[in-house]
Structure 1
Amino acid sequence: MLGDGLHVPLADGTTTRSVNLDYAATAPALTAVAERVAQVLPYAGSVHRGAGVPSRVASTLYEEARASVGRRLGARPTDHIIFTRNTTDAINLLAACIPAGAGDVVTLDVEHHANLLPWRRGAAGHRTVPNAPTIEETLRRLDRALAEQPTALLAITGASNVTGEVLPLARLTALARRHGARTFVDAAQLAPHRAIAIEADGIDYLALSGHKAYAPYGAGVLAGRADWLDAAEPYLAGGGAVLDVTIDDVAWADGPRRHEAGTPNLAGAVALATALELLAPTDREGHEDALRAALTDGLERIDGVETLNIWDDAGAAIGTVAFTVAGYDPGLVSAYLSAEHGISVRAGRFCAHPLLARLGLPGGALRASFGAGSRLADAHALVAAIEQLVAAGPTESYISTAEGWAPATAEPAESLLSRLGLW
């Protein structure tokens, strides 16, 4: 894992081992992914646009990456695997592909903004179903909502980016099919932590991001059924997406090319395929369950600390834990953890404002998230740091700035980058 052994400066002038508990935002690259990209880049050429050796090699590598991603996601042989910039890009693409008159899009109110806002801009209507206290009642609410009027698509998260709770995807896809709807799964959080099975679980469309799956090279994926994608207007108009162009008309390509205009991101595609190949045989679930249990057990023993959940009956969760510390702004706690302990967590509303409002936390919360490089010691370090904060308060003085909370004596960013050799 790139970044293993990284030491970061503290506010008191010392350094300490970096404890990265912000994998849910962006995960560092796996070492083997970085090595594969370095191996490929000397052969970077014009994908699908040349007869020279670099172009031929690059074209083959790009299409091999597409096929590999499809296999790792358990896609149907007829599914399209379209490389995008990230999950947000992929969802916006799909939102523009829903056929006119097919019905509207239904989501829950627990979704990341990327699985809410694009549907509002699409031609299809958008309905949001209020979440219930249990998964079972939430499924009943969705059942009723899908029966109310024609629905084209049920768009659902695979795992909450706030609490890590996992939804029963096979049950959701079966529910949607009973009402003649298709299913889209936002797998940005799920894919780095669990195996994906598009065909086996009856998923029609799925999106994920490389930067959350140990391949932060600017690529994501939209995978799914071909008919909607081939019938829609190209997501981007430009070279590579066409069969023929005249002054007055254009014949667009079918297949993934239709929505991949411009020069493709070879490094991103290869990186994402390599990461998914490496993740496939690993025991991510057992590793993360142990870390999550250690963290939640430790935090819940601290007075004034509350861990968050969406559903009372959620039985499965990935390595993501959200919590609050009574009497402290989440941003201040995040700054304290970084400046005094070298621990990185996320603070705020996590691009899930409706969910945080439903949880009664319009000012946000804290989120710790694990990954392949996390250790049990990382969970213990966070618990110890929060125990110290609650018992004695922060050592440093902190101020609220336009960019968030920071130590009053924080080193300017330019100076820090220079000292780290990055400026």
Structure 2
Amino acid sequence: MSRPLLSVVGADVDVPLLDGRRVRHVNLDHAASAPALESVAQRVTAALPYYASVHRGAGYASQVSTSLYEDARATVGAFVGARAHDVTVLVRHTTDALNLLASAVPGRVLVLDLEHHANLLPWRDAAGGVETLATAPTVAQTLERLEAALVAGGHALVAVTGASNVTGEALPLDAVVATAHAHGARVVVDGAQLLAHRRFSLAGTGADYVAFSGHKLYAPFGSGALVGRRDWLDTAPPYLAGGGAVRRVTATDVTWADAPARHEAGTPNLLGAVALAAAADALAALDGAEAQQHEQALVEDLVGGLSAVPGVRVARLWPDSAARVGVVTFALEGTDPGLLAAYLAAEHGVSVRDGRFCAHPLLDSLGWGAGAVRASVGLASSAADVRRLLDGVRAWVAGDVQGDYVQDGGTWAVRDDRRPAPFGLALAPTAAAPCAV
């Protein structure tokens, strides 16, 4: 199946190439930030006239805004199969959610070294510290290694990705949850890469928490969520101290509210919550089997096409892993990943990601410490998008290169790039991102 399953804002945007042509922009960087769904933009536009204070006003607009916010909370919780006793805390993104949980976990955390930095670094400040396990060569061996660590005891929480942001692979969640629970540990799932591609349910998997970002779910308006068991979150120190998180304040004392208010001090991101709920509605309405079939066809085309190019290697964690989500990372022998990404953008109109993807330990363990290129597809991607990328990689290998590319501050760019930019801007290389170096 080659047609997009969802309509996104910007699907018809064209971009200038170095040869003077303009072509439709091909966005194969969904794993970083997915474009906004048209339905998300429409709902945000509809909510804007009623934008007002949430939880703090008696006026009509404020009442509408409060209802929008709390309805969004309920929709987001339902989207991930929240149980009756679970709580949904609205935050900024996955990183925010996992830092919040790290402040609440009452013991030691167990995590694998394959994780995104957002699911590695926060646990280092957890009350009980963290144990980081090296990933084994197979899924079966990795599960055995995880169980052996849990048998040793002393872990309150296992933190696991729902899908790797480097390879799109994952451990079977049912096995991880069963093993962790058998040894008295809870499980948090980093759903950042998973939820845009697969259905997930806390109730169905038995997982205790899930963290995710709106900007990965076609809702790039600065909202995310931590959803899961209430008890730790009700007793944890407030994530932010301020208005809205309290029941009572005196000159010398404070009585904090329970979650979610306990961790949502300040004026909440109403439009972000509305956007996240709209995206959840759109994704929940899709036929899950059709969406997975669409994505798998694109991934197979990507992997097959790239593997046929001389000098290309495609990253893989485990030979026995299940079907990956729409994330494919590759390297071309003798070519700097940043240079190839800059070329694909400037001469083929294709956006990909290059670097180490905020997963330095994983890239090091794969032997790809110098970085790689990542192409990631989504529900708005098509077979034509994949063909454009493959044509571009083959053109590079064939030496069909027009631009003069230079490194500036660690980032590759076209020397004296004169392509026009919107809004009166001038194109300029950006500083190298911390995850790219």
1:207-232 deviations in Å (ceiling 9; x for gaps): 00000000000000000100000011
Q: Is the 8 A contact 2:153 2:183 kept in 1?
A: no
Code of the residue aligned with 1:335 in structure 2: it is: A
Please list every run of 5 or more consecutive structure 1 residues that lacks an aligned counterpart in the other structure. none
What's 2:214 paired with?
210
User: Equivalent residue of 1:294, what SS?
Assistant: helix
The 1:96–1:339 alpha-carbon spacing in structure 2 relative to 1, beyond 3 Å, is same
User: Distance between the aligned counterparts of 1:246 and 1:222, measured in 2?
Assistant: 30
1:16 deviation in Å?
1.0
Q: Is the 8 A contact 2:108 2:126 kept in 1?
A: no
User: Equivalent residue of 2:215, what SS?
Assistant: helix
1:190 deviation in Å?
0.2
1:13 deviation in Å?
2.5
Code of the residue aligned with 1:167 in structure 2: it is: L
1:94-151 deviations in Å (ceiling 9; x for gaps): 000012xxx3101001000000000012222101111011111100000001112310
What's 1:7 paired with?
14
User: Distance between the aligned counterparts of 1:382 and 1:276, measured in 2?
Assistant: 29
User: Distance between the aligned counterparts of 1:76 and 1:323, measured in 2?
Assistant: 39
User: Distance between the aligned counterparts of 1:213 and 1:411, measured in 2?
Assistant: 34
What's 1:396 paired with?
403
1:410 deviation in Å?
1.8
1:403 deviation in Å?
5.1
User: Equivalent residue of 2:313, what SS?
Assistant: strand
Code of the residue aligned with 2:404 in structure 1: it is: S
The 1:411–1:123 alpha-carbon spacing in structure 2 relative to 1, beyond 3 Å, is farther
2:155 paired with 1:148: no
1:221-263 deviations in Å (ceiling 9; x for gaps): 0001000000111000000000010001001111200100001
Equivalent pairs, count: 417
Q: Is the 8 A contact 2:116 2:165 kept in 1?
A: yes
Code of the residue aligned with 1:378 in structure 2: it is: D
What's 2:368 paired with?
361
1:151-173 deviations in Å (ceiling 9; x for gaps): 01000000000011132111111
User: Distance between the aligned counterparts of 1:219 and 1:411, measured in 2?
Assistant: 36
Superposition pairs for residues 221-260 of structure 1, below 5 Å? 221-260=225-264
Code of the residue aligned with 1:195 in structure 2: it is: R
1:421 deviation in Å?
11
User: Equivalent residue of 2:78, what SS?
Assistant: helix
1:355-403 deviations in Å (ceiling 9; x for gaps): 0000101110000000111000111111111111112252212101105
What's 1:416 paired with?
421
2:331 paired with 1:324: yes
What's 1:57 paired with?
64
User: Equivalent residue of 1:199, what SS?
Assistant: helix
User: Distance between the aligned counterparts of 1:171 and 1:50, measured in 2?
Assistant: 47
- Runs of 4+ in structure 1 off by over 3 angstroms are 417-422
What's 2:381 paired with?
374
Higher mean C-alpha deviation, range 310-319 or range 391-400:
391-400
Please list every run of 5 or more consecutive structure 2 residues that lacks an aligned counterpart in the other structure. 1-7, 428-437
1:14 deviation in Å?
2.1
The 1:239–1:352 alpha-carbon spacing in structure 2 relative to 1, beyond 3 Å, is same
2:321 paired with 1:314: yes
User: Distance between the aligned counterparts of 1:17 and 1:403, measured in 2?
Assistant: 28
What's 1:280 paired with?
284
What's 2:394 paired with?
387
1:76 deviation in Å?
0.5
What's 1:262 paired with?
266
User: Equivalent residue of 1:234, what SS?
Assistant: coil
User: Distance between the aligned counterparts of 2:403 and 2:354, measured in 1?
Assistant: 19
Matched-pair identity in % = 53
1:58-80 deviations in Å (ceiling 9; x for gaps): 11111111111111110111101
Q: 1:177 is matched with which residue: 181, 202, 210?
A: 181
Q: 2:114 is matched with which residue: 106, 110, 115?
A: 110
State the superposition RMSD in angstroms: 1.4
What's 2:73 paired with?
66
What's 2:302 paired with?
295
Code of the residue aligned with 1:317 in structure 2: it is: R
Code of the residue aligned with 2:194 in structure 1: it is: L
Code of the residue aligned with 2:129 in structure 1: it is: G
User: Distance between the aligned counterparts of 1:146 and 1:315, measured in 2?
Assistant: 24
Superposition pairs for residues 41-56 of structure 1, below 5 Å? 41-56=48-63
1:4 deviation in Å?
0.9
2:95 paired with 1:91: no
Q: Is the 8 A contact 2:13 2:24 kept in 1?
A: yes
User: Distance between the aligned counterparts of 1:320 and 1:68, measured in 2?
Assistant: 27
Q: 1:190 is matched with which residue: 179, 189, 194?
A: 194
User: Equivalent residue of 2:364, what SS?
Assistant: helix
Code of the residue aligned with 2:14 in structure 1: it is: H
What's 1:348 paired with?
355
1:323-374 deviations in Å (ceiling 9; x for gaps): 0111100000000000000000000000000000001011100000001110
2:38 paired with 1:31: yes
1:12 deviation in Å?
2.2
1:203 deviation in Å?
0.7
Q: Is the 8 A contact 2:212 2:226 kept in 1?
A: yes
